[in-house]
Structure 1
């Protein structure tokens, strides 16, 4: 289901090299590389960071919250660079950034075929069709019987399900509910670590039987 450790490590090394070269003049590309330098989970990490800062639950960020989110995430951006990113995404000049629009702009470019596969996988797991994946959704959809800790009796079925859901969440901040945004954030990083379209297609189809 996840990116290979090797693929994620190669992605992180490549992004770090590009950052160190100083060739990423575009602030948004620079922030994207900062995320990818943390491996395949980098995009989902900044997504969680901004959700934490969104105190009022508006699913939008004002300029102050955006500055704080970038700084807390450890992005080495100047105030001018953060302003450029904010102004570029805030096309309607409302003074706030919509979560989804920001993350869509930040995700590495992905083909429509890859996006369609990710959407199909999410829909298959979201058995209730309520827009989120929970332990209840996974019953009868995700087979845990091959997990070694289930086989040796160390974990229950629910334990395996919870561990699977944590894949898509930020460590130490898992709530057992995976949104479509979190699912896409995770797989946008995985996609960036897989150059070959045929391999990505095979990986997704095998993992989710789609």
Structure 2
């Protein structure tokens, strides 16, 4: 995938999300489009901010943690909207929110055909099959030598690989590793800017040579 293609998708997504945010009628829609106004990384970054807050590691948050996480991320929802959102997502009424389920609900709706294409691309990149894309997975698959910054000597091959992975990573916590969840969250954002399955199919196949 080229940097130009990625930048164009990002801009289209932000513009569409800004428009949709003004039309949103539910708290989950308002939050979704506020995230997507930050680009394809928006939903993934929110997930990271919640994971940082999850000291116990149980992948659950109470209302206070949930509210603080949204405010720290810069979400513009009032306290009653946040409480209603929390209560709607707390399906078993136990006072805690499973944020894996929350992030799943936050993703823009996608057809199964789109999810299948995203999965194909991820599995092609994940050459070791360990459910994480790393620099080692990219060797022999992504040719760094065509990158202009490699050709002018500014970046090494490894640095080009890391730059590529950063496209899917969070600027606040880059780790040069991309999980299936991060990859899916990224492309759910891209998907939101593409109206037809046919165009999404063409874009994915061209980008990843599927």
* TM-score with structure 2 setting the length: 0.90
Q: Secondary structure of the equivalent of 1:145?
A: helix
Provide the residue aligned with 1:160 in structure 2.
160
Q: Secondary structure of the equivalent of 2:146?
A: coil
Shift of 1:4: 4.0
Distance 1:85 1:103 in 2: 12
Provide the residue aligned with 1:15 in structure 2.
17
Provide the residue aligned with 1:42 in structure 2.
42
Provide the residue aligned with 1:122 in structure 2.
122
Provide the residue aligned with 1:148 in structure 2.
148
Distance 1:18 1:205 in 2: 27
RMSD over aligned Cα, in angstroms?
A: 1.9
Provide the residue aligned with 2:139 in structure 1.
139
* TM-score with structure 1 setting the length: 0.90
Distance 1:13 1:58 in 2: 36
Distance 1:135 1:101 in 2: 29
Question: Which residues in structure 2 correspond to 1:1-210 (within 5 Å)?
Answer: 1=1, 4-19=6-21, 21=22, 23-210=23-210
- Higher mean C-alpha displacement, 63-72 vs 85-94: 85-94
Shift of 1:184: 0.9
Deviations 1:109-158 (A, max 9, x none): 11111000111111111112112111112222222221111222221211
Distance 1:184 1:99 in 2: 15
Distance 1:5 1:156 in 2: 23
Unmatched 5+ residue regions in structure 2?
none
Distance 1:137 1:18 in 2: 37
Q: 1:142 to 1:98 in 2, by over 3 A?
A: farther
C-alpha contact 1:40 1:186 (8 A) present in aligned 2 = yes
C-alpha contact 1:100 1:181 (8 A) present in aligned 2 = no
Unmatched 5+ residue regions in structure 1?
none
The size of the alignment, in residue pairs, is 208
